Amino acid sequence: MSVNPPVVAIAFGSVAPPQGDVIELRVHLGCTSEVSSFEVLLQNWNGKYSPNGTMPIRVGMDGNISVGRGAVCPLLMTCRVESVKYESTPTESYVRVSGRCWGERLFRRVVTKTYEGMKGEAIVKDLLDYYVGLSHNRGGTELVEAADTTYTRLEYENTPVWDILRYIAETADKQGVIGYDFRVAPDAKFEFFPRGSKTSPVSLSERIEQCEYRQDIHRIRNRVTVYGAADKSMPADKDAWTESLTPSDGYWTAAAGSISLDASMKLRGFASIRLEAENLYYGAAAFILYAGKEVNANLYPLFNLWLRCEAAYNGQGILQLLDRTGKQAQRPFTVGKDEWFKIEHKVGEKNADGWNVESGFDWNYIWQVRIILFFDGVGTGGFWIDGLFFGGRRYSSTQEDSTSQSSYGLREQVEVNEELWSDTECALRAKALLANLKDPAEQLTLRSTIIDYGNTPLLPGDTVHVTLPNEGVDGDFRILSVDYNVDAKTQTLETVLELGREKPMLADYLFRLQSKTDSLSRYKLARS
């Protein structure tokens, strides 16, 4: 198949090397994980491109590179010269010029700023407008496309712009699919768009001269465990145990005094537990859990309750935990009078040093909680208990695929996501990760010297259809990068495509999250 020979147009500042001076040219176009770059080798007869020459090429110059065939020579890159190297022998003189596209501006600045309640595209535009200086509008069309994700809080300190853009691209979703691509287009416009949403008009049919198809299992994960926020509690409703004298997990009783439910004095919900002591040295309330409902304090390492006492008490108390054999762990506490005080303590074997623990006490089976308050001598008065629970456990879910495990062996991944607030949300996230990671990634490298893309060069981030009957490939692939290699000696333009295909990352869990928080939130510190 015959094609027109390559044509090249290069300009660095006011210097426009003629095509006859171009020995080799390589233009590498990348997106999302990298910016585009170039390297050109020029004849440097009589030192005309040298610092003292008639057409000096200097670092820092802006320029552009166009490559095509015949009379069609579309722009591939708006660039900046970052390196100039002179190479000479007694009979030959060359200059090697290299640099990157205007995407190099994305690496110049760091950000110290907090974004609150902002959509993903609004954050991207703010970075471009105030830190980068790249246009994102082409002929009145906004090139930063809208996302469905709102970020409650993103806090950055001395964080590179590039890192923030990568994070937004990796986490923003559109219509249930996570992932955006971004690139600096040939005309230096910044584009931000949902992954897989752009299709190249170039046909590769009968244009592929060499291909390499590979499947890679390095990425495979077929057992995924996701941990959410450390806010899982027993009971799940943190107020349930103090809304009734006989909640579903146990019952209240008085160890000293009389016990009742009081709807007139409560901190939360519709009632609290009241203990009334009359002519006693202390008042004591006990919550006893039914068999099978005991709390494992090693899994729920945080104990919490609210307490309010009348002025007759001296404010000194003891908190006791009893295991199913009656052995105790206890510690003192102090509260004020006639107002609610929060009592919160770490529990479990790792936190046993903060307790007076009876030998043999089993933290895995907390059977009873006792709250004791003292009088100075004999006294009469009441105190109230509200919001008693054990917490601090992370929500979690583990999902696995037995077929993938049989084929590739057990491969595990663990993720902690502070934005997941239930086991269900963790399960949705784990299922999405598993669906995305359980199968091999597919990658293609295509080479051809007969691709004619006309005025529409192949760009990274676009999708292109590939058919390889021998390899059983027939589908759309995402362009990861494109190399345009011009060789003056052979008068060839070789196009090298790196392509990838993987299952989209579904965002079902995000929508469940948004029903609770109406947004995603992240807290990110700067890299040191």
- What pLDDT is attached to residue 519? 33
Cβ proximity of 188 and 376 under 8 Å = no
- What pLDDT is attached to residue 178? 85
- What pLDDT is attached to residue 518? 34
Residues 321-328 have a mean pLDDT of 96
- What pLDDT is attached to residue 315? 94
**Is the pLDDT reported for residue 524 higher than 50?**
no
User: What is the average pLDDT score of the chain?
Assistant: 93
- The per-residue pLDDT for range 244-292, each reduced to its tens digit, is 999 999 999 999 999 999 999 999 999 999 999 999 999 999 999 999 9
- What pLDDT is attached to residue 505? 65
- What pLDDT is attached to residue 517? 35
DSSP string, 286-327: EEEEPTT--B-TTTS-EEEEEEEE-TTEEEEEEEEEEETTS-
Residues 205-233 have a mean pLDDT of 92
pLDDT band at 219 (very low <50, low <70, confident <90, very high): confident
458: three-class secondary structure by DSSP? coil
Residues 115-140 have a mean pLDDT of 97
Residues 355-376 have a mean pLDDT of 97
Cβ proximity of 336 and 378 under 8 Å = no
Cβ proximity of 419 and 520 under 8 Å = yes
**Is the pLDDT reported for residue 96 higher than 50?**
yes
Does this model's pTM top 0.75?
Answer: no
- The per-residue pLDDT for range 426-440, each reduced to its tens digit, is 998 898 889 889 998
- The per-residue pLDDT for range 22-80, each reduced to its tens digit, is 999 999 999 999 999 999 999 999 999 999 999 999 999 999 999 999 999 999 999 99
Q: Do strands 93-101 and 110-119 pair parallel, antiparallel, or not at all (unpaired)?
A: unpaired
DSSP string, 435-447: HHHSS-EEEEEEE
Residues 485-503 have a mean pLDDT of 93
**Is the pLDDT reported for residue 512 higher than 80?**
no
Domains of the chain: 6-102 (2.30.300.10), 108-195+506-517 (3.55.50), 210-218+443-503 (no CATH), 223-229+396-437 (no CATH), 232-393 (2.60.120.430)
- What pLDDT is attached to residue 520? 35
Q: Which residues contact 145 (CB under 8 A, 6 or more apart)?
A: 121, 174, 180, 192, 193, 194, 197
Between 63-77, 405-419, 436-450, 514-528, the lowest mean confidence (pLDDT) is in 514-528
pLDDT band at 507 (very low <50, low <70, confident <90, very high): low
**Is the pLDDT reported for residue 509 higher than 70?**
no
Q: Which residues contact 92 (CB under 8 A, 6 or more apart)?
A: none
Q: Tokens 């897989």 — which residue?
A: 196
- What pLDDT is attached to residue 506? 61
**Is the pLDDT reported for residue 528 higher than 90?**
no
